[in-house]
A and B are shown apart, each in its own frame.
Chain A
Amino acid sequence: MGELNLVVLVKPVPDPSCYDRIEIDPATGALLRQGMPAVLNPADKHALEEALVLKERFGGRVAMVSMAPDSASETLMEGLAMGADEACILSDRAFAGSDSLATSRVLAAGIRKIGPFDLVLAGNESADGGTAHVPSQVGELLGVAHLANVIRMEVGPGGSVTARTRIENGYIEVRGSLPMVVGVRREINTPRYTSLMGVMAAQGKPIRVWRSEDLGVNAAEAGMEGSGMRPGKLSRPDYRRKGEILKGSHEETVRRIVAILRAEGVLG
């Protein structure tokens, strides 16, 4: 087998360490992410690491693909610094409001535009949307085998693939062959630190931005129009504790406490 054409799907997500800053617009019910730093979806860094290791072994190219606004280039720099060769941002107003299927259609079109591929790696699920739909949907749309929950993976010379996928009490070992779409879990590897050499090299790497017309995606396939699902109402869970302050003599209050605990089913 020659060199590998590797694609990694990466999604910029709000930095999980800043979740306490997420606000919900009371009027529209939409998330307000202003001022929230974006990072690469954590699982996607593991997908990229897996791709970089394969590239080191077999040679080839690693392209990152992201459906995201133009401003995602700043976040994607981190992946370029880790060692990806290029980044393709699929960005168009028409993509706004895409559900996971519409997102997958756009991503599949982006992957096809890059050219023939051997392996598409993705995070198993995103830290924000978290549906875990995208890798399998992309696999279906591209008409190739796909695996989710992958925790270990080996590619043999000849393009054979042996992988382990996590199930509740163990794992399943799966054999197959390239091309394939694979969603990885974080236990698969430890992503490398970006080195300063990587940071410097990243400055010269290509970041392409493709619109819907570049991808040949029409309005009915993407965005609100192409989405069967609409997000419902967002609301903040009520974390306040119910409190009741008991007054009276010790004996009375103890009796009350026991009665309350019985009523709640805590005491038999």
Chain B
Amino acid sequence: MSATTEMTDYMGFQGLLTDEEKMVRATARKFVNDEVLPIIDGYAQSETFPSHLVKPMADLGFLGPNLPEKYGCAGLSNVAYGLLMYELERGDSGIRSFASVQGSLVMYPIYAYGSDAQKEYWLPRMARGEAIGCFGLTEPDFGSNPAGMRTSAVREKGGKWKINGSKMWITNGSIADVAVVWAKTGEGVRGFLVEKGTPGFTAPQMKGKWSLRASVTSELLFDDVVVDEEKSLLPNVKGLKGPLGCLTQARYGIAWGALGAADACYQTALEYALNRIQFDRPIASFQLQQRKLAEMVTEITKGQLLVLQLGRMKDQGKYTFAQVSMAKMNNVNVALETARVARTILGANGIMGEYPIMRHSANMESVYTYEGTHDMHLLIIGQEVTGISAFRAG
């Protein structure tokens, strides 16, 4: 079997999956092989999001896949959802980010915190890919510490709210039909659905990234944006636990997804090492290169078992955000390290777009930082085990 025809499975991982989970992964894998891998380098090189993939991804049920059938979603288990993210990110982190934001950061809060009318209006459209969403939490001056946010919403007469402020680094921002915007109010942080085209609301794209180039990243600017409370305000959550609850969902998917990128890098490096001859021998026969490969496959295998256990616990409703932090922190780090080491095995070829490694390596720099930086997750784990928060003042 050639190295790239199946996922890396050193420890019987696939034997731990149900038939349904296996089929979900096979479906996603085929999509990525057929539709993403042949085109993704060109899109990343030209800093363009492959928007033609939105409709097929929707038709396949990739958008909000773990939400219930009644909204046109697939109703997947959390493990199946994770496997989908693994395969998508094996293609590219930009594709996985699109799906993460749409599903976990926009559809999920509408589902968990929205009114029935909001759910019925948005969820089926978003599942069908007819509406794209974005999630605005980070601001120019507040990243790891969103509690400091300046964007504000003020209640007006006649069931209206007025929003002012700005968000930055927002995935899908410029292509979104609806933004979930978190703003300070007199009653704590609240979430608002702001539709594209609302007067005073603009979403200029941020260009010039060296990472996640096949994904749209934008600013969201709010200049006296007036919205209707009934349509816009997410009624069922108050405070930072709203956005943080969404992030837990998305981070869970990232913990799986990052391993997909790692797997792509490892398999590329393994195949290359077996075929590349130097000093009359395949470079895979040199101990230094074998050590790299052995360490990569070991870390990927540990990461797989970590997310699988987390997913099983999530399916039973028994998991904590601090456990999700460990999985996100560890697996993204594994992916970043794997990509960098895989690059060395390919020598000069490692920097070329013909191989996926440099793209994954650059992508992982964003993934390492977004959805809680690596450091912040270490501090969350530290707080979990010591009972002392090292990152909050006082």
Chain A residues within CB distance 8 Å of chain B: 17-18, 21, 74, 77-78, 81, 193-200, 202-203
CB pair B1–A200 under 8 Å, yes or no, is: no
Q: Knowing A18-B1, A77-B23, A81-B23, say if A199 contacts B30 (CB, 8 Å).
A: no
B1-60 contacts to A, CB under 8 A, are: 1, 5, 19-20, 23-24, 27, 30-31, 56, 59-60
In the complex, what distance in Å separates the CA atom of A143 from the CA atom of B20? 39
Interchain CB contact (< 8 A) of B24 among A74, A78, A199: A199
Kindly supply a per-residue 1/0 record for chain B positions 53-89, scoring 1 wherever the CB is within 8 Å of any chain A CB and 0 otherwise. Answer: 0001001111001000100011110001000100000
CB pair A200–B75 under 8 Å, yes or no, is: yes
CB pair B5–A193 under 8 Å, yes or no, is: no
Pick 5 A–B contacts, CB within 8 A, sort by A: A193-B56, A194-B23, A196-B24, A199-B24, A200-B76
Q: How far is the CB of A22 from chain B (nearest CB, A)?
A: 13
In the complex, what distance in Å separates the CA atom of A31 from the CA atom of B60? 37
In the complex, what distance in Å separates the CA atom of A1 from the CA atom of B303? 57
| SS class, residues of chain B in contact with chain A | helix
CB pair B59–A199 under 8 Å, yes or no, is: no
Report how many A-B pairs have Cβ atoms within 8 Å: 51
A199 neighbours in B (Cβ, 8 Å): 20, 23-24, 27, 74
Q: How far is the CB of B61 from chain A (nearest CB, A)?
A: 3
CB pair B69–A200 under 8 Å, yes or no, is: yes
CB pair B5–A195 under 8 Å, yes or no, is: no
Chain B residues within CB distance 8 Å of chain A: 1, 5, 19-20, 23-24, 27, 30-31, 56, 59-62, 65, 69, 73-76, 80, 84
CB pair A196–B62 under 8 Å, yes or no, is: yes
* Of A77, A194, A196, A197, most B-chain CB atoms within 10 Å: A196
CB pair A200–B20 under 8 Å, yes or no, is: yes
CB pair B69–A193 under 8 Å, yes or no, is: no
In the complex, what distance in Å separates the CA atom of A203 from the CA atom of B76? 12
Q: Knowing A17-B5, A18-B1, A200-B75, say if A195 contacts B59 (CB, 8 Å).
A: yes
CB pair A195–B60 under 8 Å, yes or no, is: yes
CB pair A197–B20 under 8 Å, yes or no, is: no
Q: Knowing A77-B19, A78-B23, A202-B23, say if A196 contacts B65 (CB, 8 Å).
A: yes
* Of A21, A78, A81, A195, most B-chain CB atoms within 10 Å: A195
In the complex, what distance in Å separates the CA atom of A199 from the CA atom of B60? 10
Q: How far is the CB of B68 from chain A (nearest CB, A)?
A: 11
B30 neighbours in A (Cβ, 8 Å): 193
In the complex, what distance in Å separates the CA atom of A74 from the CA atom of B17? 14
CB pair B23–A197 under 8 Å, yes or no, is: no
Q: Knowing A17-B5, A18-B1, say if A196 contacts B76 (CB, 8 Å).
A: yes
B69 neighbours in A (Cβ, 8 Å): 197, 200
Q: How far is the CB of B55 from chain A (nearest CB, A)?
A: 12
In the complex, what distance in Å separates the CA atom of A195 from the CA atom of B72? 12
